[in-house]
Structures are given as C-alpha cells and as structure tokens.
Amino acid sequence: MRHIIFILTLHLGYCVFLNAGIMPGDTTGIIQSADTISIAIDQLDSTIVSYMDENRTLGYWRARIELLGMNEDSTGMFVSMFRGELSSINHVHFSGAAEREKDYLNQEFYLGKRMLSIQDVSKAESRLRDIGYRMNRLRDISIDGDGKYHLNYMITKRPELNIDALAAFNQSAGADTLAFFGHIYLYVPNLDGKGKSLSLNWQRLKSNSESFSLSYAHPWLFDLPIKAVFGFGREVVDGNYQNIQSKAGLEWTLNWERTMFFQFEDQQSLITYEGSLLYPEWKAAHRQLFGLGYKQYNLDKRLHRGFAVRTSLSQELEFEPSSLSRLDFRSEAEIPLFRHLYFSQRTALSIQNKTNNENDPSVLKPLGGVTSVRGYEENRYRSLSVASFQHDVYYILGKQTRFITLMDLGIYVDSETLRYLGGYGLGVQLNSSRGPIRIILAKHQGLSLQNSFLHIEYSGGISWIDR
C-alpha cells in the first residue's frame, strides 16, 4: 500500500501544516502526535469534516474546503481550508412562547446588541437559564437568502415561583421546649411575560422578633437594559425597637454577567416603651443613604466551578464627618477538588464607620445562625460591623445525595475589640427537581451535642448573593 501525505493549509495569513500519513497495513484509526496525524484510509473524509465542524464551532460558519490535487510524485494530497470571516447570529426565534414573551426573551438574549458571536450566544443561553427558562435548540444554525444567520429554540420550561426556606431548631440547656427559628423567601418571576418580578421575605426569630420585606422589579425601562427596583421592609428586634426601611434603585445590565446598580435608602428607627426602659441611652433616628454597587455572576452550579459577587458602598446624605458609611459584600464560589468532591465558600460582611448615631440600635447588624455562622442561635449577636465565612466540602454519594462537612467563622466588633465565632458540623443534601434540601447538625465549642442546632435549608433557585 502506498504512503499518502495529507497536507492541510489554513488560510489566515499564516500556514499550519498537518501531515497525515496512511501507513502500509495501518487500519487502527487516528493516531495523533505533536505534528503528525496517521489516518486510516476510510477515515480521511471524516477527518476533514471534523476540521470543518471545529471551525464552525468557533464561529467560522462560512468555512469551506477545496481539494487542490496531488503532489508531483502522487504521494501527497493538497487540501486547503478557507475559514472566511467570523460570522454572527442575526436572528433568534423562540417556539412555544407567547408573542409578548418573545420580545422579552430577545431583549434578554441580545441585551441591546444587533448581533452575537458564538461566545456571546453561550453567555446569552446561560443568562436565560439563570432567569428560569429551559430551552432546546431545534436544529443547527441556518442561513437565509440574505446571508443572515438564525438560531431556533423550543421553550421547555418557564420561570416559576421560587421558594427559599430556612429553619433552625435548638433546645437550650435546662429547657424543656424546643426553640424554632424560621425564614421564608418567595420570588415570583416574570409576572406578565415581560420580566416583572415580585419578592417577599419573612423571618421569625422568636415571639417578639420578626422581619418582613416586599420588593418589586420592573425591567427594560425605555427599552434599555435598566431595571427599576422598589422595596419596603419592617423589622422588630426583641420587642425593643423597630426598623422601617424603603428603597428605590436602578440596575444597569452591562453584559450577560455584570450589573451595576444605584440605590436610595430611607431608614427610620422607633424605640418601643419596653426598649426605652431597658436601654435609656437609645435614641430613634431617621437617615437617608445613597449607594453604588456592582454584581457579577460567573457561577456554574452544575459543574461546581466559578464565583458570584455582589458589593455596594452606601453613604448617608448628610455628608458630615460623623455621617454613616457602609460597605456590604457578599460572594459565593465553588471549586471542584476531585471526581466526587467539591468545595463551596460563602462570604458576607457589612462594615460601618463609627458615628454619633451609635445610640441608634438600627445600625447594628446581626450575626449567627443558618445564614452566617451555623451552630449559633439566629442573630445571636449584633454589632456595627460583622463578617461571616461559610466553608462546605461536598462528597457526591449519588445522583441525588451529597454528604457535607462544614466549618464557619464569624467576626464582630464589641467595645472596639474583635470577637470571633466558630461553628462546625455535618450534614446531608438531598436534591429534588425543585431544588436541594440541606439538613445540617452544627454546634460551637462549649455547646453540648444534645443542645446542637439542627439547620434545615431548602433552596428553590434564588441566588445566595441576592437573598
């Protein structure tokens, strides 16, 4: 059998030569080394096609191959591939969606761009998945008579009501009753098929402590990637004081992964009669703040890799040396370690400067519990500045089951001294079609196992950094 040399030339201003030889008696298929590819004679066509498919995947949809003939001694075949220019998607079609919903889907897919590259298409698909849509491509990319490229999708699932529920149970030493702490977060996406959303947050810590908040979001103001957000909240702490807060803001979507937001807050505190008796130094206050923030979401929970971050800096509008300044930061990251093992880390911190309003208890931030340091009572401590770090290691036992080991760290300021909290525990995660359920038993040093905290968390798809 004669030895044929296959030479592939890429026309991109430079040449890459790949020598493919069909060796006598060699029918083993493709054997690849640094600069030589040996190909069985019946795989020559499929090899050329694979080069075509690879370039089309990169966005060179006009790529073509030309056979130029044999070399002088008839032992070489010359083949040229012409990539052409990078092509872009001009039109996207969504089957199974209402007409008004199609307009919204196109807005979220394109984000104001006229056409998308292949790299942008994958990001746009990921954004729609994060919103709550599930879809399948109906067929490969098609081209019309004007040379415009089209993508076609079938919507298989729409955004649904999302519920996050947190609960903790604990029996204090010497007590016969079981203490209960609950937290429910409801998120109603896409109210009218155009992306409007409503969220409700309720938290019950004890009989005299609870909080409630309601917010509404209206996307695509003036047909721009700008979302208006309005919110109201009320919190009662130990029956001693109340915090009343109103918010209004704008979120500007920079691209499929990054968002900037501007926020105005109106905060008012009220001291109850019981609180004034217990803490006569407390004083009610009313303040207004303006904040500037940034959000980035690159977290892929399916592959357990990437990160998400949300941070903001707020300033009281008095602009006096003693006015309040606050830095808020939340992040979440996942890192695959081994085949069945991955690591998850969550950070939340709120840092405020010392002000003349320190007698206003509403500026104090809570720490402890299932959302910060597990193994402690919910909102056990309050301080001007707090930070929490949750560390989880997941071992995949099966398709629906994970084993969890955890260690949390909390930091707060008490009388100008840093205080530390440490919680640790074990748990299990059970996956369902609606979201994972985590059951965790956690404690801290000095707490008996009998008085440990049982934390139950159900995540219905709401991003942790946005809770």
For 439, the enclosing helix (H) or strand (E) is strand 437-444
Any idea how long the chain is? Answer: 467
| E strand residue ranges, 219-322 | 226-237, 241-253, 258-271, 286-297, 306-316
170 within 8 A of 453, measured Cβ to Cβ: yes
- Would strands 381-383 and 134-137 be described as parallel, antiparallel, or unpaired? unpaired
54 within 8 A of 81, measured Cβ to Cβ: no
d(CA 405, CA 442): 10
Torsion of CA 191, 192, 196, 202, to 10 degrees: -10
What domains appear along the chain, each with residue ranges and CATH number?
Answer: 4-82 (no CATH), 89-157 (3.10.20.310), 162-466 (2.40.160.50)
Amino acid identity of residue 322, one-letter, is: S
- Confidence at residue 172, expressed as pLDDT on a 0 to 100 scale: 64
What is this structure's pTM? 0.78
Q: Is 176 helix (H, G, I), strand (E, B) or coil?
A: coil
Q: Is 104 helix (H, G, I), strand (E, B) or coil?
A: helix
d(CA 247, CA 228): 11
| Tokens 């954004």, residue located | 127
Torsion of CA 212, 366, 310, 225, to 10 degrees: 20
d(CA 385, CA 274): 26
Residue 111's φ and ψ, nearest 5 degrees, are 50, 45
Mean pLDDT by 10-residue block, N- to C-terminus, for the chain (467 residues)?
Answer: 43 37 35 41 69 69 69 60 73 85 89 82 85 79 80 85 80 61 84 87 83 93 93 92 94 93 94 89 90 93 90 88 88 92 95 78 89 88 94 91 95 89 93 83 86 83 78
d(CA 205, CA 181): 5
Q: How far is CA 245 from CA 34, 116, 126, 219, 270, in A?
A: 64, 41, 34, 22, 11
Amino acid identity of residue 235, one-letter, is: E
DSSP symbol at 223: G
